Structure formats: structure tokens, C-alpha cells
Amino acid sequence: MRNSTKMIILGAFAVLFCSLYLFQGLNGSFDYALPRRGIKVLAMVLTGVAIAYSTVIFQTITHNRILTPSIMGFDSLYLLLQTVGIFFLGSSHVTIVNKHVNFILSVSAMIVFALLLYQFLFKSGKRPIYFLLLVGIIVGTFFGSISTFLQVLIDPNEFLRVQDKMFASFNNVSGDLVWWALAIIVISMIIGWRSINDLDVLSLGRDTAINLGVSYDKVVKKTLIISSVLIAVSTALVGPITFFGLIVANLSYQFFKTYKHSVLIIGASLMSVFALVGGQWVVERVFTFSTTLSVIINFVGGIYFIYLLLKESRST
């Protein structure tokens, strides 16, 4: 089956579940329910596309298909920001209650953290990408340890607010934030798409890419920044989804079997939309909100991650 046909099939499933989620059970309440459902669907589409795009390009520059941008500590930093804010300022403070302020602060902090980290590690021009990953893992673990320590000390009533931030949720997404996220994600993807052919070459390895005329360090830095922006925006918009990018990126590799990033990114994005919207529909219609979509994704993603580790160990 040709890749274009596969994309049409995935696109059809994505449209089907989006339509099903939007229109099922409206019973004439179009003015009230449809706009709210539309915002949720748009949030899921943006989150899915951002995570898929950032994960595929991140795995390309790291040459490792079991890594995600979250390994750099973005999820841990987001939870630390929320925990510190609630612990020291209280859950009624404007930085916690006002979603716009919280979104701006969270995105800004994560992007500044990424820029400082990349600037420090790439300053000498000799730091390998795996050194960057190692530092990201250590920093992320450090952030997670501080968050856990503060959560032990925090008031139990305040901890409930922290707990709400630990899992991704599409039920209380602000409409204004969705449009802000849309603008940032679209601009980032347009900038990144200009280097899409360079990523095809980068997948061959550092030395081969340099010999073929690609400015390796420049493309890697640009890709890391774009990946960081996309993950920061999606995390601040709905919360952390640790394993989702790992799932859709690897399924895209197996389904399309190509090196072209223009195909892999679009394919992973369609899978993301299909999975998120379809999964949220199942959570609401089948499980009747007895669980959350992020819990299901992390459960399935954890099992899939173990499978990938075992698969890699057998191949080596």
C-alpha cells in the first residue's frame, strides 16, 4: 500500500472520530455544546500535532527511537513550577487561578530553561548531543525530586490542586489559550518545515550529513529549540503526556517505512489526532469519566516503551 493511501486512511479515521466527538448526542444544543466541543477537539489536534512533530525531529537528531523531548526535563519543570507556585503562593493566587498568566509563565520558563541549557552546552561547540541528553535527565530528576519533596510538605487541600496538574486534561482547556497555542505552534512548524530536507540527511548520521553539505550544528540547535517550544506549549496547554510521542512516532516509522520526514511527521500527526480524539471519546462515552486519557496513554505507553527496549536489546 502506498504511503499516500495510508495517509488518506489515517486522515479519514481522524475526521471520523472528530465528527463523532463533535456531533454525537448534541440533541439540538448546538449553540451551547458545539463551541465547547470544538475547542476541546482543537486543543487535542494542536497537542497531538505538536507532540508528534517534536518527537519525530528530536529522535532524528538524537538517532534514538526510544527518546522523547520530555527526557530534557520539561514535564518535571512544569510540575515543579505548579508545585512551587501552590506551595509558596497558595492555590488561590493569580498565577495559579488565572490560566492565561499560568500559561505564559509556564511556557516562558520552559523555553528559557531550554535556551539556557542549549547555550551552555553548545558554547564550546564540542559537546556531543548525548551529553546534552545526560544533563537533561539529571536536571529533570532534580526537578522531580524537589517537586516530590514539596508535595510531601504541602497542605493536603492544596495538594489536590497540584494533583490536577500532574495529568493532562482536555476538559477545562481555555478557549483563548487554544488560539494562543495555535499561533505559536503554526509559526514554529513553518520555521521548522524549512529544514525538513536537512532532517532527511541528518538521519544518515553526523559525519555523512556534514560531508553532504548540511550545517549540522546549526540545524541541530534550531531543531532542539523548535522541539522545546512545541513541547512547552502543549504541556502548558493541557499538562504532561509522557509516553504519547514515543507511541505515535514509532508507530509512524513502522507504518510508513520511509526516511522522508515530510511523510513521517504528517503520518505521526494524523495518528496523534486519531488517538487523542478517539481516546477522549472512549473515556467520555465508554468509561464515563471514570479515568483520564493521560492515565490510559501512560499505561499503554509504558508497556510499549518496555517492548521497544526489549526489541532494541535483541537487535544488538
φ/ψ region of 257 (left if φ > 0, alpha if ψ in -120 to 50, else beta) reads left
Is the pLDDT at 269 greater than 90? The verdict is yes
Q: Residue 122's pLDDT band (boundaries 50, 70, 90)?
A: low
Q: Residue 180's pLDDT band (boundaries 50, 70, 90)?
A: very high
Q: Alpha-carbon distance 83 to 78, whole Å?
A: 9
Each residue's pLDDT tens digit, 281-301: 888 888 877 777 877 887 787
Question: Given this model, what pLDDT does residue 312 score?
Answer: 66
Mean predicted confidence (pLDDT) in 131-158:
87
Domains for the chain: give ranges and CATH numbers: 3-309 (1.10.3470.10)
Q: Residue 315's pLDDT band (boundaries 50, 70, 90)?
A: low
Residue 231 CB partners (closer than 8 Å, separation 6+): 50, 51, 54, 69, 70, 74, 110
Each residue's pLDDT tens digit, 236-268: 888 888 778 888 999 899 889 888 999 999 999
Q: Alpha-carbon distance 220 to 292, whole Å?
A: 35
Q: Alpha-carbon distance 284 to 292, whole Å?
A: 9
Mean predicted confidence (pLDDT) in 186-206:
90
Is the pLDDT at 220 greater than 60? The verdict is yes
DSSP H stretches of helix in the chain: 3-23, 30-62, 74-89, 94-97, 99-121, 129-153, 156-165, 175-193, 196-202, 206-211, 216-238, 244-256, 261-285, 293-315
Each residue's pLDDT tens digit, 84-105: 999 888 888 888 888 889 999 9
Q: Residue 121's pLDDT band (boundaries 50, 70, 90)?
A: low
Is the pLDDT at 173 greater than 70? The verdict is yes
Q: With pLDDT > 70 as the criterion, what percentage of the chain qualifies? A: 95
- Nine cell digits for residue 217: 550544528
Q: Alpha-carbon distance 288 to 50, whole Å?
A: 27
Q: Residue 137's pLDDT band (boundaries 50, 70, 90)?
A: confident
Each residue's pLDDT tens digit, 56-85: 999 998 888 887 887 778 888 899 999 999
The residue among 41 and 169 whose pLDDT is bigger is: 41
Q: Alpha-carbon distance 92 to 176, whole Å?
A: 21
Question: Given this model, what pLDDT does residue 145 score?
Answer: 93
Residue 246 CB partners (closer than 8 Å, separation 6+): 55, 66, 68, 301, 304, 305, 308
